[in-house]
């Protein structure tokens, strides 16, 4: 007479977050295996957006690639173009004039401001706090206007060129930019206070997705994600480029809590630092010429290789450019910050509740187009089509 023991093994339920999902802005599949409400395993599936930009860069000349690399990501396009251009300047052994360096810093810091405002607005939206989302976006428009005054485009700046920048600013523009910065700073301080005091935000963000410094370094997480847990890494301090060594108000922002709230607060504090830096740049612009004559730039590049890093709003961006003496590069490797943060960051979901998953994801600041560099638009039909890499290479054009 045996007694039968029934052992109940709770099944883990697989919940796909994405590829189309209201909490996500770009296609990404995160498979969450949950038991009840708690996540026990997470898998990240990418590949919905792959564009084959690295192969494309090998088929175009160095100068065309400046514009192609600037279109890897819409939000951080100046940083991508800047990192690539600095790699080209390293290959040529060229140093841009000081005024150009300051203007580059201005463009990149303005981009950091609008990118951080965007992700904080998205965090508010993901929490359901739509009013706050709309308010932040309205004030972000002022920054887009500033970018338009400086570079000629609201989103895509196309501002960087080998040897400097593509346009200069005069006194009138400088004053307008300073006025915009004053207005934006006041609003950013207000929103920072809201994020500190508001009970909804506190309940949903504090204590969610805590990461230890050990986890962060061994998983290669970078940017505000790392700085929110106290890891002091920031390319602007380690590898100072352009005019960053001369800018006094620049400081690294870190927090020790390590949760999603700390990550968002790091971003707000960085926004304030960026506004101070932009103001400093505008007030201390050196004289001289900032715009190189594009017609005189060399067509062929000497053989060599260069590895440059930049601090994108999302973290450390690296470019590797190898030239073999032809007008086109031999190899261009782009490693965007979201590549590390999102794919390696899947472990952060384990142990959290399902409702915390979008919060954790947004606190990592996902930029999926940066991560995968995809989406070819067919010029003939004007329709968005997934061109396979074959068609891409045969046509040789974006």
Partner 1 sequence: MVHTFLKEVLKNLFSKPATIQYPREETQVEPDFRGRHYADLTKCIGCSLCAIECPSKVITMKPIPKELAAAVPKANRRLVFPSIRYFGCIFCYRCVTICPMNAYVVTNEYRLASDKPLFSDELSLETLRKAPGGRDEH
Partner 2 sequence: MAELPKELAPLREVAKKVYEMKVGRLVVELEPGDLLRAVGSLLRSLGPESLYLSTLVATDLPQQGVIRLDYHLFVIPLRRIVVLRTSVPRGGPRIASLLKLLPGALSAECEVYDLLGVVFEGNPYLRRGFFVPVELAEKGVYPLRKDARV
Return residues touching partner 1 (CB under 8 A).
Answer: 60-61, 63-64, 67-68, 71, 131-132, 135, 138, 141, 148-149, 152-153, 156, 158, 161, 166-167, 190, 193-194, 197-199, 294-295, 379, 382, 397-398
Q: In angstroms, what is the minimal distance from the CB of 240 to partner 2?
A: 11
Residue 229 touches partner 2, criterion: CB under 8 A? no
- Written as one string, the DSSP assignment of 6-38 is PPP-PPPEEEEE-SS-TT-SS--EEEEEEETTE
From candidates 19, 23, 41, 220, binder to partner 2 by CB under 8 A: 220
398's contact among partner 2, partner 1, none, with CB below 5 to 8 A by partner kind, is partner 1
Burial class (CB within 10 angstroms; exposed 0-12, middle 13-18, buried 19+) of 371: buried
230's contact among partner 2, partner 1, none, with CB below 5 to 8 A by partner kind, is none
Residue 218 touches partner 2, criterion: CB under 8 A? yes
Q: How many CA atoms lie within 13 A of 221 on its CB side?
A: 29
Q: In angstroms, what is the minimal distance from the CB of 63 to partner 2?
A: 19
Residue 393 touches partner 2, criterion: CB under 8 A? yes
Within 10 angstroms of residue 9's Cβ, the number of other Cβ atoms is 5
308's contact among partner 2, partner 1, none, with CB below 5 to 8 A by partner kind, is partner 2
175's contact among partner 1, partner 2, none, with CB below 5 to 8 A by partner kind, is none
Q: In angstroms, what is the minimal distance from the CB of 346 to partner 1?
A: 34
Pick the closer one to partner 1 by CB: 16 or 379.
379
Pairwise CA distance, residues 118 & 264, whole Å: 11
The single residue listed with the structure tokens 């399902």 is: 354
316 SS3 class: strand
Pick the closer one to partner 2 by CB: 39 or 56.
56
Single out the residue of 43, 60, 50 nearest to residue 27, CA to CA. 50
Residue 238 touches partner 2, criterion: CB under 8 A? yes
From candidates 306, 327, 328, 354, binder to partner 2 by CB under 8 A: 306
Residue 372 touches partner 2, criterion: CB under 8 A? yes
Q: In angstroms, what is the minimal distance from the CB of 76 to partner 2?
A: 17
Residue 397 touches partner 2, criterion: CB under 8 A? no
Here the tokens at position 78 are: 């100046």
Q: How many CA atoms lie within 13 A of 138 on its CB side?
A: 8
Single out the residue of 274, 58, 285, 83 nearest to residue 171, CA to CA. 285
Question: Long-range contacts for 342-345 (Cβ within 8 Å, ≥24 apart)?
Answer: 342/28, 342/44, 342/46, 342/366, 342/368, 342/371, 343/44, 343/46, 343/371, 344/219, 344/220, 344/221, 345/44, 345/219, 345/221, 345/225
Q: In angstroms, what is the minimal distance from the CB of 228 to partner 1?
A: 23
From candidates 344, 353, 354, 398, binder to partner 2 by CB under 8 A: 344
Which residues does residue 318 pair with via DSSP β-bridges, in sequence order? 309, 335
54's contact among partner 2, partner 1, none, with CB below 5 to 8 A by partner kind, is partner 2
Residues in the chain: 398
Burial class (CB within 10 angstroms; exposed 0-12, middle 13-18, buried 19+) of 108: buried
73's contact among partner 2, partner 1, none, with CB below 5 to 8 A by partner kind, is none
Pick the closer one to partner 2 by CB: 151 or 308.
308
Residue 398 touches partner 2, criterion: CB under 8 A? no
Find the part of the chain contacting partner 2 (CB under 8 A) among 195-203, 269-277, 335-343, 352-360. 335-343
Q: Print burial letters for 95-104: b (CB count within 10 Å at least 16), e (below 16).
A: ebbbbbbbbb
Radius of gyration of the chain, Cα coordinates, nearest whole angstrom: 22
Residue 55 touches partner 2, criterion: CB under 8 A? yes
Q: State the residues that interact with partner 2 by CB under 8 A.
A: 46-47, 50, 52, 54-55, 90-91, 213-214, 217-222, 231, 233, 238-239, 304-309, 316, 318, 320, 322, 330-331, 333, 335, 339-340, 343-344, 347, 372, 386, 388-390, 392-393
């Amino acid at each position: 007479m045996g007694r039968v023991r029934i052992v109940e093994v709770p099944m883990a339920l697989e919940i796909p977050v994405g590829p189309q999902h209201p909490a996500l802005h770009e296609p990404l599949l995160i498979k969450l295996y949950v038991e009840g409400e708690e996540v026990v395993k997470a898998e990240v599936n990418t590949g919905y957006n792959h564009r084959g930009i690295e192969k494309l860069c090998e088929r175009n000349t160095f100068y065309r690639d400046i514009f192609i690399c600037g279109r890897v990501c819409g939000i951080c396009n100046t940083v991508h173009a800047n990192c690539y251009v600095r790699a080209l300047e390293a290959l040529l052994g060229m140093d841009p004039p000081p005024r150009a360096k300051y203007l580059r810093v201005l463009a990149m810091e303005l981009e950091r401001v609008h990118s951080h405002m965007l992700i904080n607005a998205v965090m508010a939206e993901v929490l359901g706090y739509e009013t706050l989302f709309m308010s932040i976006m309205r004030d972000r428009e002022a920054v887009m206007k500033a970018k338009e005054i400086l570079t000629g485009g609201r989103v895509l700046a196309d501002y960087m060129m080998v040897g400097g920048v593509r346009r200069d600013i005069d006194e009138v523009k400088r004053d307008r930019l300073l006025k915009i910065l004053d207005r934006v700073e006041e609003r950013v301080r207000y929103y920072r206070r809201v994020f500190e005091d508001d009970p909804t935000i506190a309940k949903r963000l504090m204590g969610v997705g805590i990461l230890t410094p050990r986890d962060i370094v061994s998983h290669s997480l970078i940017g505000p994600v790392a700085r929110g847990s106290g890891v002091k890494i920031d390319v602007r301090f380690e590898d100072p480029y352009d005019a960053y060594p001369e800018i006094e108000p620049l400081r690294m922002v870190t927090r020790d809590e390590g949760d999603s709230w700390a990550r968002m607060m790091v971003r707000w504090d960085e926004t304030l630092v960026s506004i101070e830096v932009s103001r400093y740049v505008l007030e201390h612009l050196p004289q001289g010429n900032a715009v190189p004559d594009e017609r005189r730039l060399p067509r062929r590049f000497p053989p060599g290789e260069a590895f440059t890093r930049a601090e994108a709003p999302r973290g450390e961006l690296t470019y590797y450019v190898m030239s073999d003496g032809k007008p086109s590069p031999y190899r261009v490797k782009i490693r965007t910050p979201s590549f590390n943060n999102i794919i390696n960051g899947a472990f952060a979901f384990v142990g959290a509740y399902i409702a915390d998953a979008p919060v954790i994801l947004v606190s990592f600041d996902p930029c999926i187009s940066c991560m995968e560099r995809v989406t070819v638009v067919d010029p003939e039909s004007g329709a968005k089509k997934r061109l396979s890499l074959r068609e891409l290479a045969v046509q040789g054009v974006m």
